[in-house]
Each structure stands twice: as C-alpha cells, then as structure tokens.
C-alpha cells in the first residue's frame, strides 16, 4: 500500500466555497438518490464507515453530521485518489490544470495508454482526468486491470474544479482511507454510536445486466451472502447499518427480518438506451425508521 504523508492543506480560516460532493463520476453513484435516502439516515453518528466508497456521495452528504469516518474500497487507484485529494489537493490541481490545457482526443488516448505510471500523484491526476473526459464517467478495466473506456463527447469537460476539490479535501480531513475488502469491517472497533453504509456492487437482476462488470473485482452471490452475514453480525452488536442493493428475491431473502424499503432510481449504466429508466432498488436498515 502507498503511504502518503498527511499534511494539512487547508488553513483553518479558509472555508470551502461549495458544499462537498463527489469529485468523480462513479457507476452506481448515489448522488441522485440522496433526497430519497434522507429519511432513513441515522440522525447522528460518531464514526461513519463506508467500506464500498466508490464516488462517496453518501459520505459527502453526511460528513457534517459525523465526528470521523473510515472510507474503504478494494480499488487501490481509487484509494490513491482519495488520499491525494485529502492530503495534497494543490499538487493534484496543478497536474489537472496541465491535463486540461492539453486535452484533445490524441492526448486522451496517450494518457489512457500510461497504465503503469510510477508516481502515485500522476496516477491520481490521470484517474480524475480520464474519469472526467471518458464516455459516461465509467470506470472499466480489462482483465489486466487496464482502464479501457473510450473518450466521451464533451464540449467543456470539468477536468479541474478547484472549489469542488477543496470542499472534498476539507470533508476528508477527518477520514481514514483504507484499501481493504469489506470484510475487514469486522476487525474495526465499532460501537452503537457508529454507523455503517454498504453500497456493494449490485446483484444482477437479469442475465444481461452488467452491474458487477465495471471493474476486475467481481462480486458474485457468495460475496452477497458473506456481506449479509457481516450486516447481521454488526446489527447484533447494536451498530446502525444501512445497505443498498438491487430489488430481487435473492437480496430480499438474504435480509429477511430487517426493514426493507423500495427506492425509485434511474438506471444510467446500461448500454441499451431503451432500457434506461426508473427501476426499483432496495434500501435495508438494521434499525427502525420513524416516518
């Protein structure tokens, strides 16, 4: 694991100009669902754990209500980006400004070919640059772990947004960022004052859905079963746990006995345009929600 020294990039007198929100587009991002999720969030939380952080939409939304956070993901490149945004946003922005000045289709594909950059800062800037300029903001890798999404059609992609990055950096100051599989949460010192939000790769609802195919980290039925066991173990310890997943019998059965709510989501990651539209997803909590 790459260890980046923690530095304090924000003078305490500087308040971020915008509210923190995701600085990456991420498949399955929860930005559009936050309004529907709001009634189900715990009112307070000492330490917030999000072991499948992805774009971190729920973390950024809840950040003002928590004392500290532990954010995890199995994707080392994503973890690397979060650490640079937290610890050295200025250095990252300088790299992004360079990408912004040089952006063109040829430049995009030249950067995309740089699969093994040695410097973690260059890798972080490359991931943000490709994420902002690629087709649909999709993170997809081939079997060798190489990012392989074509360029998107944007007139003016937001490659470097300083306000957004400063706000994200401020929100991340109280976050520990770990490159670990979700099962590691069982080794964390959780108490009933803490909360956990699980947003795993969704269980596919049809043989043609590609929800679990956007990275080399597959997530099959055995992983869903293991996750449900972890959810139960945490619930038994009195921790408030929340989980999102697709609406299907398999998932409903795994969480039988817990409150299960239907949420209406728009499906964006579907290559077949005709099949994009409203779809029911599940939100499952380990605690009763007063509504």
Ligand X SMILES: C[S@@+](CC[C@H](N)C(=O)[O-])C[C@H]1O[C@@H](n2cnc3c(N)ncnc32)[C@H](O)[C@@H]1O
Distance CA 133, CA 56 (A): 19
Stretch that binds ligand X, among 4-12, 45-53, 110-118, 120-128 (CB under 6 A): 45-53
199 interacts with ligand X by CB under 6 A? yes
Least Cα distance to 194 among 37, 22, 85, 45 occurs for 45
245 interacts with ligand X by CB under 6 A? no
Least Cα distance to 238 among 287, 167, 169, 182 occurs for 287
SS3 at position 261: strand
28 interacts with ligand X by CB under 6 A? yes
Closer by beta carbon to ligand X, 103 or else 255 = 255
219 interacts with ligand X by CB under 6 A? yes
64-93 residues in contact with ligand X (CB under 6 A) are 72-75, 78
157 interacts with ligand X by CB under 6 A? no
Q: What are the angstrom distances between the C-alpha of 87 and each of 78, 83, 158, 165, 167?
A: 14, 6, 21, 11, 12
Stretch that binds ligand X, among 23-31, 61-69, 127-135, 156-164 (CB under 6 A): 23-31
Stretch that binds ligand X, among 60-68, 109-117, 211-219, 250-258 (CB under 6 A): 211-219
Among 42, 55, 89, 204, binds ligand X (CB under 6 A): 55
Q: What is the DSSP string of 24-71?
A: S--TT--GGGHHHHGGGS-S-EEEEEESS-TT-HHHHHHGGGEEEEEE
How many positions of this chain bind ligand X (CB under 6 A)?
23
* Residues binding ligand X (CB under 6 A): 26, 28-30, 51-55, 57-58, 72-75, 78, 181-182, 199, 201, 215, 217, 219
């Amino acid at each position: 694991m790459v260890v980046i020294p923690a530095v304090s990039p924000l003078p305490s007198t500087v308040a971020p100009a915008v509210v923190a929100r995701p600085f990456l587009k991420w498949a399955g991002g929860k930005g559009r669902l936050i309004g529907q999720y709001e009634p189900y969030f715990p009112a307070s939380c000492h330490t917030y754990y999000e072991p499948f952080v992805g774009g971190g939409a729920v973390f950024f939304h809840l950040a003002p209500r928590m004392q500290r956070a532990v954010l995890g993901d199995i994707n080392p490149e994503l973890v690397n980006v979060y650490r640079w945004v937290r610890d050295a946003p200025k250095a990252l922005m300088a790299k992004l400004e360079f990408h912004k000045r040089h952006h063109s289709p040829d430049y995009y594909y030249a950067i995309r070919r740089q699969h093994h950059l040695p410097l973690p800062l260059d890798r972080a800037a490359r991931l943000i640059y490709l994420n902002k300029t690629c087709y649909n903001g999709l993170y997809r890798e081939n079997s060798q772990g190489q990012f392989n999404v074509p360029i998107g059609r944007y007139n003016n992609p937001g490659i470097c947004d300083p306000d957004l990055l400063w706000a994200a950096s401020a929100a991340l100051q109280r976050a520990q960022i770990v490159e670990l599989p979700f099962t590691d949460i069982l080794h964390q010192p959780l108490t009933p004052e803490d909360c956990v939000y699980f947003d795993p790769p969704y269980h596919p609802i049809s043989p043609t859905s590609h929800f679990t195919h956007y990275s080399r980290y597959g997530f099959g039925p055995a992983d869903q079963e293991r996750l449900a066991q972890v959810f139960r173990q945490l619930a038994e310890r009195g921790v408030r746990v929340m989980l999102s997943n697709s609406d299907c019998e398999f998932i409903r059965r795994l969480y039988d006995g817990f409150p299960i709510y239907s949420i209406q989501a728009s499906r964006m990651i579907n290559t077949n345009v005709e099949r994009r539209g409203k779809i029911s997803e599940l939100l499952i909590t380990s605690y009763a929600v007063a509504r």
